[in-house]
Amino acid sequence: MSSGLDFIGVRAGYGSVEALHDVTVSFPLGTVVAVLGHNGAGKSTLMRIAAGTSSPMSGRVRWRGADITSWTAHERAVSGITSIPDEPNVFADMTVAENLDLVAGDASQSVVFEAFPTLARRGPQLAGTLSGGERQQLALGCMLLRPGSAILVDELSPGLSAAALDRAVAVLTDLAGPDRVIVVVEPGHPEALRRVDLVYVLSRGRVTWAGEPSELGRDGLRSASG
């Protein structure tokens, strides 16, 4: 597997509160990775550090072997790092159609409506008035129109029905390939991510387990959900 997104000895936090303690993890190209853990484990902080919307106190972040610790969020996006934050994940004061148009340009949006048929009926509706699950589908739909080489999804399942969650997981795993890494933070339904290649479990800002999902087992998956 090729070098993808790597964190080396990362410490991060908010004010005097440290959320990540000397975290070293690797998300190689060609893999789908799940990051599990209870609320407050540091999962979202890790994703913000990856996306460049937060900066580490110490440690390094590398992308395809290059040190990007000091890069801005815009520079990371240009380099192919695509992030879907937990909230806000869409432009609430724009319609569904406007959100999609902003990303799509002249590209066909059919791939979005095939994956999430509900969005085809929501075009004129303001994104801020959608249900939580529909907003998540819209965010994923926008990502589908311009998928990067690294796709980071912070909290996939909240608001999604079981059927919509299955579609979302299928959409992400279908995008997997040798030149792309997909990282999904999953707080509540880790069993939906058994198709991933690698799992990291965070607890209180530290990596407490890493390996293939089959090695973690049902009890471990249940204990990792928040």
Tell me the CA distances in angstroms from 107 to 122, 137, 165, one per residue in order. 19, 18, 25
In the chain, what percentage of residues exceed pLDDT 90? 71
Cβ burial, residue 88 (10 Å; 0-12/13-18/19+) = exposed
For the cut 90, the answer to whether the pLDDT of residue 30 exceeds it is yes
What are the residue ranges spanned by the domains of the chain?
Answer: 5-224
State residue 226's pLDDT score. 46
Tell me the CA distances in angstroms from 164 to 13, 75, 137, 152, 226, one per residue in order. 33, 32, 8, 18, 20
Higher pLDDT, 38 or 188: 38
Whether domain 5-224 has CATH 3.40.50.300: the reply is: yes
Higher pLDDT, 162 or 45: 45
State residue 54's pLDDT score. 95
Average pLDDT, the chain: 90
The strand pair at 150-154 and 81-84 is best described as: parallel
pTM summary value: 0.89
How far does Cα 99 stand from its chain's mean position? 19
For the cut 90, the answer to whether the pLDDT of residue 164 exceeds it is no
DSSP 8-state symbol, 180: B
Q: Cβ distance 116 to 128 under 8 Å?
A: no
Q: Cβ distance 135 to 108 under 8 Å?
A: no
